[in-house]
Chains A and B, each alone.
Chain A
């Protein structure tokens, strides 16, 4: 099994839904009214990417893609934590009243 389109229907279905999910999360990433909205969208985007990597690992028969997914998860968690830390640091009421 080489290409995705040569795969079985379940894999094609999964890839189609995951791609639709990436598109929806990308819309929220662009449109999101506030910064935390964008961070949540980025989080979901990378989780959808992890799902795509997993499906591709199954379709291509190569388990090395799962390692990429694990690293992606680690980086995503650190990114979300860092974003949350700096969003909270930047939300002091004194600074916001001055501004």
Chain B
């Protein structure tokens, strides 16, 4: 019985890891790749660790497995958030099929803060022209969809 549970956990966990790798290979831009890898790989590695816990079946291994799984589940979203934020500031282009870019024009590029936060701090508000991200990086950026372009699109498409 234990062998069957271990086998099922191994197959499902490694399949999820494979899905994560497939995501990083085939997804069109950085942000979709990140959402594919972070979640699928976290769940997959958690299932593989659970397989190890069932296989060894003693307290020391189970404790280490739980510690490792909790650590991964806590750090993977933090790392993905930091990296996605850094990539957005770097100007990594979104996929041309992206429907919406909520942060476009709302970030102060120098302070790395949201425009609403800047108002609270009493500093001058971002001028609309200043707030575009054009000119920071390559020309790919000018093709980033404006929020107004998607205004006519139905809400359910995203």
Contact = CB atoms under 8 A, between A and B. Distances in A.
A63 B137 contact: no
B21 A66 contact: no
A91 B86 contact: yes
B64 interface: yes
A88 B14 contact: no
A28 to B, nearest CB: 5
Contact of B17 (A34, A39, A48, A92): A48
A80 B21 contact: no
A56 to B, nearest CB: 10
A4 interface: no
Interface in B1-26: 3, 6-8, 10-11, 13-15, 17-18, 20-22, 24-25
Interface centre among A24, A67, A90, A97 (most CB of B within 10 A): A24
Contacts of B79: 43, 77, 80-81, 84
Interface string B120-149: 000000000000000111000000000000
B45 to A, nearest CB: 5
B110 A93 contact: yes
Main secondary structure of the interface of B (DSSP, over half): helix
Contacts of B78: 77, 81
Given A10-B10, A28-B25, A88-B90, 16 more contacts: A8-B7, A10-B8, A17-B18, A21-B18, A24-B22, A25-B24, A36-B92, A51-B14, A55-B10, A58-B6, A70-B67, A80-B79, A85-B86, A87-B89, A90-B90, A93-B135
Interface of B: 3, 6-8, 10-11, 13-15, 17-18, 20-22, 24-25, 30, 33-34, 37, 41-42, 44-45, 48-49, 51-52, 55-56, 60-61, 64-65, 67-68, 71-72, 75, 78-79, 82-87, 89-92, 109-110, 112, 135-137
